[in-house]
Amino acid sequence: MRPVPTWPPMPPGGTPVAQPRRREASQIALWWLMGVIGMLFGLMLVAYVMRMSLGDWRALPPVDALWFNTGLLAAACIVMQSSASQARRGELRRSRREWRLAGAFALAFVAGQLWVWRDLHVQHYGVSGNPANSFFFLLTGLHALHLLGGLVAWALLAPHRMTHATRARRLSLTAQYWHFLFALWIVLFAAIVNLTPEIAQRLCGTGVGP
**Residue 135: per-residue pLDDT:** 94
Mean pLDDT of 107-111: 97
- What pTM, to 2 d.p., does this model score? 0.84
Mean pLDDT of 102-115: 97
CB 177 within 8 A of CB 171: no
Separation between Cα atoms, residue 172 and residue 166, nearest integer Å: 10
Q: How many residues does the chain have?
A: 210
Q: Which amino acid is at 121?
A: H
Q: Is residue 23 predicted with pLDDT exceeding 70? A: no
Could you report the per-residue pLDDT of 125-167, keeping only the tens digit for each? 888 878 899 999 999 999 999 999 999 999 999 877 778 888 8
Taking only Cα atoms into account, the Rg of the chain, rounded to an integer number of angstroms, comes to 23
User: Read out DSSP for 25-40?
Assistant: HHHHHHHHHHHHHHHH
Question: In the chain, where are the structural domains located?
Answer: 64-194
- Terminal alpha carbon distance of the chain: 86
Separation between Cα atoms, residue 126 and residue 118, nearest integer Å: 9
**Residue 206: per-residue pLDDT:** 65
Mean pLDDT of 191-202: 83
Q: Is residue 177 predicted with pLDDT exceeding 50? A: yes
Domain at 64-194, CATH class: mainly alpha
